Amino acid sequence: MKIIESPLPGWAWDLIEAVERGERKPDLVRLIDWRTRRNAKYDRWIRQAKAGDFNGTHPEIAVHAIESWENRKASRNLSSSGRAYRDWWRPSGTITVTAGTEVLDQRMVLLHEIAHLLTPMLSQHDLAWRRVAARLYSKYGGPEVVAWAIEHERKPLLINLLRRQHPDLAAPF
Ligand SMILES: [Zn+2]
* DSSP characters over 12-58: HHHHHHHHHHHTT-TTS--EEEEEE---HHHHHHHHHHHTT--TT--
Q: 3-37+80-165: which CATH number, 3.90.1070, 1.10.357, 3.30.2010, 3.40.30?
A: 3.30.2010
All CATH 3.30.2010 domain ranges of the chain, comma separated, are 3-37+80-165
pLDDT at 43: 85
Q: How far, in Å, from the CA of 103 to the mean position of ligand 1?
A: 18
Task: Please classify residue 170 by burial: count the beta carbons closer than 10 Å to its beta carbon, then call 0-12 exposed, 13-18 middle and 19+ buried.
Answer: middle
Counting every residue, how long is the chain?
A: 173
Q: How far, in Å, from the CA of 24 to the mean position of ligand 1?
A: 22
pLDDT at 124: 84
Q: How far, in Å, from the CA of 115 to the mean position of ligand 1?
A: 8
Please list, in sequence order, all residues whose beta carbon lies within 8 angstroms of the beta carbon of residue 71, skipping any fewer than 6 positions away.
none
- Per-residue pLDDT in tens (0 to 9) along the chain, 173 residues: 566 666 889 999 999 999 999 999 998 998 899 998 887 888 888 888 888 766 666 777 788 888 888 888 888 888 899 999 866 666 678 899 999 999 999 999 999 999 999 998 767 899 999 999 999 999 999 999 999 999 999 899 999 999 999 998 866 55
Angle 88-85-39 (CA atoms, 0-180°, nearest 5)? Answer: 135
What region, left, alpha or beta, does residue 124 occupy, with left being phi > 0 and alpha being psi -120 to 50 degrees? left
CA gap 88, 172 in Å, rounded: 44
